Amino acid sequence: MFTAIFAIAALSTAFGLLLGYSAIRFKVDGDPLVDKIDAILPQTQCGQCGFAGCRPYAEAIAAGEAEINLCPPGGEAGMLALADLLGKEPVPLENEEAAGKGKMIAHIRETECIGCTLCIQACPVDAIVGAAKQMHTVIADQCTGCELCLPPCPVECIEMIPVKTTLSNWKWPFPGAEEHPAAQESRS
């Protein structure tokens, strides 16, 4: 019996030492988890998740304080990517309706703008150019569609419009769609 105990003890010590050595010798420095999560999030900085931007939300997910289904701009694909990364079960999105909308960008109706700079201060990615008493306008390429500029505007001159589909950003539809949807639109 003692030989058995001795043998098992010796083996476990040996393997333990081997594992410990390997853990140190072959350690792989990976990205911290927060960076990986942040890379998946769409960077809209809209705050719809309840956090003050994408980075705080990423930090909350990494700390286990937030669910992975709170981001409408990321949509289903984003939630699934997060589930895959964290090894969690996919969860249906909180706000299905908001996720379904196509990408919209903000547009200022310049005839109504009074130059108050409130929207400029609200934009989380500085996508609005302008100065006090000067015309304000949205740089379309930089707008993430977060809609944070709409509430502060005192004359409600900002609206969300869908991104225009042109030849350069048109995508082939998933096969199975009967006719080309864009073709139907342009002929109607």
Which chain residues interact with another protein by CB under 8 A? 38, 41-45, 53-54, 124-127, 141-142, 144, 165-167, 169-175, 179-180, 182-187
Shortest Å distance, C-beta 116 to another protein:
19
What is the residue whose two structure tokens read 């201060």?
Answer: 121
Shortest Å distance, C-beta 46 to another protein:
10
Dihedral of alpha carbons 30, 35, 41, 43, sign? negative
Q: Using the minimum distance from each CB to another protein, give the nearer residue, 25 or 171.
A: 171
Closest to 130 measured CA to CA, from 160, 138, 122: 138
Q: Using the minimum distance from each CB to another protein, give the nearer residue, 97 or 179.
A: 179
Q: Using the minimum distance from each CB to another protein, give the nearer residue, 19 or 103.
A: 103
Q: Using the minimum distance from each CB to another protein, give the nearer residue, 2 or 175.
A: 175
Shortest Å distance, C-beta 4 to another protein:
37
Shortest Å distance, C-beta 109 to another protein:
22
Shortest Å distance, C-beta 54 to another protein:
7
- Between helices 33-40 and 75-86, what is the axis angle to 10°? 160
Q: Using the minimum distance from each CB to another protein, give the nearer residue, 3 or 169.
A: 169
Shortest Å distance, C-beta 98 to another protein:
17
Q: Using the minimum distance from each CB to another protein, give the nearer residue, 125 or 156.
A: 125
